[in-house]
Amino acid sequence: MTVGRRRCALARLISGGGGFLVVGALTWLTASSWGAPPPSPATGEPEESFRLEPVVVSAGRIEQKLRDVPANVTVLTREEIQQSPARTVDDLLRQIPGFSLFRRSSSIVANPSTQGVSLRGIGPSAVSRTLVLLDGVPLNDPFGGWVYWSKVPLESIERIEVVRGGGSAVYGNYALGGVINIVTRRPEAGVAQAKLDLGTRNTVDADLLASHVMGPWAASLEANFFRTDGYKIVREDQRGAIDINADSSHETFNGRIEYTPSVSSSLFLAGSFFHEERGNGTPLQTNSTEAGYIATGGRLRTADGSDWNLTLFSNLQTHDQSFSSAATGRNSETPALDQFDVPSTAVGANFQWAKRLFHTHLVTAGTDLRWIEGETNEDFRFVSGEFTRRRKAGGEQQLAGIYLQDIFTPTPAWQFTVAGRFDYWRSFDASRLERDIQTGAVTLSRPFPDRDEVAFSPKLAVLYRPTDQLSVRGSFYQAFRAPTINELFRPFRVRNDITEANAGLEPERLIGGEVGLDYAPVKNLLGRFTAFWNEVEDSVANVTIGAGPGTILPCGFVPAGGVCRHKQNLDRTRIRGIEAELKYHLDAHWAVSGSYLFSDTEVLSAPNQPQLEGKRIAQVPEHRLSLKLTYTNPALINVSVQGRYVGDQFEDDLNSLKLGDFFVVDLMLWRPIPIPKVSAGEVFLGVENLFDRTYEAGKTTDGIVTIGAPLLVHGGIRVRF
């Protein structure tokens, strides 16, 4: 931890001092206001800015009008992002009922390894079953598959596209349940924007974004700093002397350079640095992360109408964290595991060609490659005041795929999509080595055999638009996900519960389909309805083996109150349900929206774990509901109130640890204000969990309950020069 802090001293200096120098240097820049819509020449009232759909989305690897995508797609625009009191991407996305993380906790206080994302309830463990992209580059952690949501400051985002349904036909690995595509803001001519957001629990969120365009060149820079004292995550009646606030802080630096010599060609270079420090609720439980990525590439449109795109990227990351075992009464704790170094590296590329043929076919073809290396270095078995064993486990992976997609539009009313992708996955040079720390003697040496798999992911979809107001869609797809290095080789511990890795895990394979319709019967009213069905073969789950105290294979010694769980493939699980969305603008000021997800999950077949058959999939509630009411009147005040309901769910595979349902309300107020020498100014106030509802976020076998975020109030100012 000390080493990580030293390495980031320069980064803190830049964010704390250098960032404000940049603000001062750029105050001469001018740009148009982002605030209120322009007034109507006829009435003087703000013109209605609501649109039934954004113009284009790009989550399908090519730009399409939203109405031309044969899937249930939700787009959060820049305006909607600013209307939310959320301060991280995951908290923002919780307004979409199909979105869920492994834990109910916000990434502000949750351990990073619990931040795997799923859509529609696909997935009973912490790894993501959804591909998350940042400007086309995978954001999923290369080692464990989870997502560091704080890497992407909200101020940098232009829009977020959430596409539900198997996306492996063009994206391959991770897109089992869909794709979340985060599109950042492109550089603008002579713009600087700053935000300062202060809140309860000593929370500070500061952001500086500057960009400029000069001829064919464009550049942008962003610095973000966040810090909070957090809150105690264990339920109040169960707390002991060891329970302290789960605090966190992070710094993010993003940069981008673009060169556009003509309308038919462009090049870019982008990079990011991220550093995070966390306390996980007790003095001995902490973690730290340093990560960076670089991406480059370009696009070219040739004379024959072909579009060529190339992206190269690399990720480099190191992570450490410590775990402890709490005594009964929670008045003392003992070190249990110290993962002092978990490095990972990833290198990838995507090359794509697209062209419209015969006016009715839009054909896309491409290939992508990714190489990943990762390992965990950790001390364990704490005896007589010190760790006695050291473990090194990890390996390498290669992923390669080729894909072809044809979007056929024979008439304006009909569209057919046919896509297919072959993927090759290889795991190699993997091993697990354990030594006695005092003597250096090898206590376990286990090389794992090289493995490889081939997967084919097809997709068929149809879209029918009998009128401009009605679209009917349906699709059938298959998808796959390869197990991560973390799942294959890294054990982990949550308090007294131990989960062992499994080097023999098979890739998950999904088959599914959906039907739906989009209907706009009157102006400014849009309804969407989708019914879906998915079955997952070889779904990876944390399977309960036995309870402590005592030695339980494969976990080793399990303390009292803890259990041993083993990552295993379930033969077949089923996820089916319905999604419904409604958006309505009553007039230029009032808007209401709502969405609902019903997700029925079941373990259909598990011959090796017969006790799980018929059980619900862990961590998946049956019901999710979101309601939002917005009033916009820049001359007076803008208000957004959002309510979110999450039904009960089970923490564990045996359905023995139930987490209750809850309903929380969030509030956001904002108003443009005039500031001398500033082109646009805005003040805002956000309240999360307005009624301070206490709800369960997690539960261990010994009955310790962690809770979600309490009442949080924050507010500040945003200025644009």
Tell me, what's the pLDDT at 288? 94
Tell me, what's the pLDDT at 124? 62
Enclosing H/E stretch for 573 = strand 563-585
Average pLDDT over residues 29-38: 35
* Strand blocks (E) in 90-216: 99-101, 117-119, 131-134, 137-138, 157-164, 178-184, 191-199, 203-214
Question: What is the distance between the alpha carbons of residues 172 and 507, in angstroms, rounded to a whole number?
Answer: 12
Q: Has residue 3 got a pLDDT over 70?
A: no
Residue corresponding to tokens 């001293």 = 9
Q: Has residue 675 got a pLDDT over 70?
A: yes
Query: Is-contact 345 256, C-beta < 8 A?
Result: no
* C-alpha triplet 139, 144, 146: angle, nearest 5°: 45
Q: Has residue 38 got a pLDDT over 50?
A: no
Question: What is the distance between the alpha carbons of residues 513 and 491, in angstroms, rounded to a whole number?
Answer: 35
Max Cα-Cα span within the chain: 85
Q: In this predicted model, what pLDDT tens digit does every residue of 515-551 receive, in sequence order?
A: 999 999 988 899 999 999 999 999 998 888 988 888 8
With pLDDT > 70 as the criterion, what percentage of the chain qualifies? 92
Q: Has residue 630 got a pLDDT over 90?
A: yes
Residue corresponding to tokens 């598990």 = 606
Q: List Cα–Cα distances, 167 to 132, 427, 511, in angstroms.
A: 11, 23, 11
Burial of 152 (C-beta count, 10 Å sphere; 0-12/13-18/19+) = buried
Average pLDDT over residues 397-426: 96
Enclosing H/E stretch for 658 = strand 658-659
Tell me, what's the pLDDT at 553? 83
Tell me the two tokens of residue 166: 């198997």
Q: What is the mean pLDDT of the chain?
A: 88
With CA atoms as reference, report the closest residue to 621 among 658, 595, 594, 593: 658
Q: Has residue 687 got a pLDDT over 80?
A: yes
Q: Identify the bridge partners of residue 368 per DSSP, sorted by sequence position.
A: 350, 401
Tell me, what's the pLDDT at 628? 96
Q: Which domains does the chain have, with CATH numbers?
A: 2-720 (2.40.170.20)
Question: What is the distance between the alpha carbons of residues 408 and 423, in angstroms, rounded to a whole number?
Answer: 24
Q: In this predicted model, what pLDDT tens digit does every residue of 186-240 receive, in sequence order?
A: 999 989 999 999 999 999 999 999 999 999 999 999 999 999 999 999 999 999 9
Tell me, what's the pLDDT at 318? 93
DSSP string covering 453-512? EEEEEEEEEEEEEEETTEEEEEEEEEEEEPPPHHHHH--EEETTEEEE--TTPPPEEEEE
Task: Kindly report the pTM of this predicted structure.
Answer: 0.90
Backbone angles phi, psi at 444, to 5 degrees: -155, 130
Tell me, what's the pLDDT at 41? 35
Tell me, what's the pLDDT at 608? 87
Lowest mean pLDDT among 50-64, 336-350, 434-448, 494-508: 50-64
Listed in sequence order, the residues at least 6 apart from 306 whose beta carbon sits closer than 8 Å to its beta carbon are 353, 354, 355
Q: Has residue 506 got a pLDDT over 50?
A: yes
Query: Is-contact 319 289, C-beta < 8 A?
Result: yes
CA torsion through residues 115, 396, 296, 319, sign: positive
Q: In this predicted model, what pLDDT tens digit does every residue of 52-94 receive, in sequence order?
A: 455 577 767 888 888 888 888 999 999 999 999 999 999 999 9
67 vs 594, which has greater pLDDT? 594
DSSP string covering 3-60? HHHHHTHHHHHIIIIIHHHHHHHTTT------SSPPBPTTT-SBPP---SS-SEE-TT
Tell me, what's the pLDDT at 121? 87
Query: Is-contact 141 291, C-beta < 8 A?
Result: no
